[in-house]
């Protein structure tokens, strides 16, 4: 291999390694924070309770319960009636907004899993709390 080809290969490796650690790569190939919240809202609006667990990081405490008993899990949440996370903003990996029916505050901590941002900790003012594994 010539020095020129070797140099090009090294540049490609460095660029790929750099892209993998930044959000630019996520924007093209993964799920961004905004896209994750929008997808969660779409599944809530469509009453896809059996899909909601797919928006949560694998380290979330209740993820298995969300998957195995979705109706039993979500019926005590403000989302059961179709409330969505609206008027949200993103700062770093934290989403803040309100739920659309009761206007209660919502905070969602996000965490990357591969190239996708996943919900990691969701809290609704008034008591509903989905936590990460401590």
Mean pLDDT over residues 69-76, rounded? 88
Residues found in the chain? 134
Q: Per residue in 81-131, pLDDT tens?
A: 888 999 999 999 999 999 888 778 999 999 999 999 999 988 888 777 666
State the average pLDDT for the chain: 82
| Residues paired with 113 in a beta bridge | 116
3-state SS, 6-60, equals HHHHHHHHHHHHHHHCCHHHHHHHCCCHHHHHHHHHHHHHCCCHHHHHHHECCCE
Greater confidence, 37 or 72? 37
**pLDDT tens profile 47-59:** 999 999 999 999 8
Q: Which two tokens stand for residue 38?
A: 């929008």
Question: ∠ CA 89-115-110 to the nearest 5 degrees?
Answer: 35
Residue carrying structure tokens 């750099």: 18
């Amino acid at each position: 291999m010539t020095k020129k080809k070797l140099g090009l290969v090294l540049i490609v490796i460095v660029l790929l390694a750099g892209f993998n650690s930044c959000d630019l790569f996520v924007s093209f190939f993964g799920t961004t924070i905004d896209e994750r919240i929008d997808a969660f809202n779409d599944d809530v609006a469509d009453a896809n309770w059996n899909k909601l667990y797919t928006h949560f990081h694998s380290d979330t405490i209740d993820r298995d319960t969300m998957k195995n008993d979705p109706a039993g899990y979500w019926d005590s949440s403000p989302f059961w009636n179709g409330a969505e996370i609206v008027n949200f903003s993103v700062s770093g990996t934290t989403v803040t907004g309100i739920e659309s029916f009761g206007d209660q505050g919502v905070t969602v901590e996000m965490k990357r899993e591969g190239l996708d941002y996943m919900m990691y900790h969701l809290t609704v003012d008034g008591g509903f709390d989905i936590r990460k594994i401590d």
